[in-house]
Each structure stands twice: as C-alpha cells, then as structure tokens.
Amino acid sequence: MNKDLISIKDLKIQDIEILFQMASDLKQRRKRGEKVIHLLDGKSLGLLFEKPSTRTRISFEIAIRELGGSSLFLQSDQLQLKRGEPIGDAAKIFSLYLDALVVRTFNHDNLIELAKNASIPVINGLSDFSHPCQVLSDMFTIKEKKGDLKNIKLTYIGSGNNVCNSWIYAAAKADINLVIASPKGYEPKDKILKEAQKINSKCKIELIRDPFKAVKGTDVIYTDVWVSMGEEAEKKQRIIDFKGFQVNGKLIKLAKKNVLVMHCLPAHRGEEITGEILDGSNSVVWQQAENKLHLQKALLVLLLTEK
C-alpha cells in the first residue's frame, strides 16, 4: 500500500484483497475472544476531527486499543490550527509525536496538504470529497454476504456526494456494476466518472434519473442522507428535490428478493429510508457499522507494520 489512505482510487485491487483477508482474520479472532492482539504495541493514533463522529471515532479508538496501541482525540478547534498555524507545520509536529493520523475534515485539500507534509500515514476518515474507510468496509460487508464483488449490481440512491464518489472508484477497482439514481442537479461530477473510466475502461457505471428503474434486478441498494453535514441551509430544498427517492417497501420489491439494503449512517428515518426497511430482513446496516472496526484494524496493521 501507499503511505496514506486518501482515496480508494489510490489503491490497487491487490491492496483491497489483502485488507479484506486481514479484516476477516481479525474479525474471527475477536469473535473467539481475542480482544487484544499485540500487533501494534506502543503505537499511537491521532484522531484529528473537524466534524462530529460516532462510528468513525469509536471504531478507530477501539481498533488501535485492541491492537495494543493507544489513541489521542484531537479536536481541531482546540489546536493552534484554529489560530492560523500552517497545515504543513502542524503535519510535521504530528509526525514527531504520533505513528499515524486519522483526519475527518470538510476540506479535502487540507487532507492532501497534511499527507504531503507528514512522514507518518494519514488516513481519510471523511472529507467533502471522499469517504474511503466507509466504502471499503461496505465492500467487505458485501463480499461476506455475497461471496464476491465482481459483477455485483449496486444501486446507489442519493446525492453525488463523498460516499458516492468513493463508490465510483470502488466500482472501477472491483468490477462492480454501479447504477446511480440522483435528482437532476445532484449527480456526481463528470470528472470523477471520467477518472473511473481511466482506471478501468470496462467498468459499468450508469446514471439513471428514475430510482424505481435503477433498482430493477439489483443485488444491493445503498443510500445516504439527503442533507449532509455543512448542507443544513439547503435542507428544505433538498427534501423537495429528493421526493420520490426514498428507499421503502415499494422500491425494494423491484430489486432481487435477497437484495442487501445498506446505509452508511446516521440515517434520517422517514426521509431517505423508512424505519421498516432500515430494521428489516434485507438490511445489513448494523453489519456495515461493525465491519468498520475490523476493516480499520486491518488498515492500521498494514500501514503501521513492516512490509
């Protein structure tokens, strides 16, 4: 793997396969009762967060602890970065004290600047552009449930946001047939779609306006909130624009009988997905959440141990 995990587009398919193999092994060892595996004894993980977090923060903190290391939560507004310390200088300081840094930020460019100036691994815990740890753990979940990723049809219903971007790169890397259903004006950017084609000229990514058409024969339905962090001022308009894009009982009847329903959470029940579907027999959202722990454990081991 590269030094950092900034985007799925930077990974080779071999990297992804190794991550999944190690995540599966670590998951089984935890289920056997091995809560502490001393692979990262003495290692320290910094968590530099600008945005609120539940799953990302908890899963990374528990991951490093169960590997024998420790974590330090760094709230950005309590650091000198708030007073204008250059990002490059801060990156050098983080590198002196920590072994790796997870960053959850609004501005993707700041993440790139941190990684460029840090000598330690920098992990994208979420940015306005991509959410690689989320989608990697979701890919791992699909592989567990379906046995393989190749030629799986996944229908993403929602805005062309950071999660959608990561799924576009994932589709190109893993030969997933991706269908994206978004209202007009909320589609992913052409640049990202073109990058996916450069990665894999044979990848199948289709944009369909009608979500009911998009889910026909699909193996996986994936959705996300209609209003992400930082978009609260657009809430009223977005709810109007996304009318008809809710994942509900009527919609999933058009998919395969054993379709997996996924959501990266937190969910707004009654908006992008109904509570009935979120808690229903097709839902794997809680497995997704659990698998963040196992996938991120594997990621930390690969980034922080000798090759």
What is the pLDDT, as a whole number, of residue 239?
A: 94
Q: What CA–CA distance (Å, rounded) separates 62 from 40? A: 13
**Percent of the chain beyond pLDDT 90?**
93
- Are the C-beta atoms of residues 125 and 102 closer than 8 Å to each other? yes
pLDDT of residue 224: 97
| Global pTM value | 0.96
pLDDT digits (tens, 9 = 90+) for 214-254: 999 999 999 999 988 778 888 999 999 999 999 999 999 99
Strand runs labelled E in the chain: 44-49, 70-75, 100-104, 122-126, 153-157, 177-181, 205-207, 220-223, 260-263
Tell the CATH topology of 134-288. Answer: Rossmann fold (3.40.50)
Alpha carbon 108 to its chain centroid, in Å, reads 14
Residue 307, pLDDT > 60, answer: no
What pLDDT is attached to residue 232? Answer: 85
pLDDT at residue 76, rounded to an integer: 82
Give tens-digit pLDDT for 50-86: 999 999 999 999 999 999 999 999 988 889 987 889 9
Q: Can 8-131+292-304 and 134-288 be said to share one CATH topology? A: yes
Superfamily for 8-131+292-304? Aspartate/ornithine carbamoyltransferase (3.40.50.1370)
Neighbour tally for 233: CB within 10 Å: 9
Q: Domain ranges for the chain, please list them.
A: 8-131+292-304, 134-288
Asked whether the predicted pLDDT for residue 140 surpasses 60, the reply is yes
Q: pLDDT for 2-23, tens place per residue?
A: 999 999 999 999 999 999 999 9
Could you tell me which of 29, 52, 25 has the C-alpha nearest to residue 295? Answer: 25
Helix H or strand E segment including 18: helix 13-31
Kindly report the number of other CB atoms within 10 A of residue 72's CB atom.
15
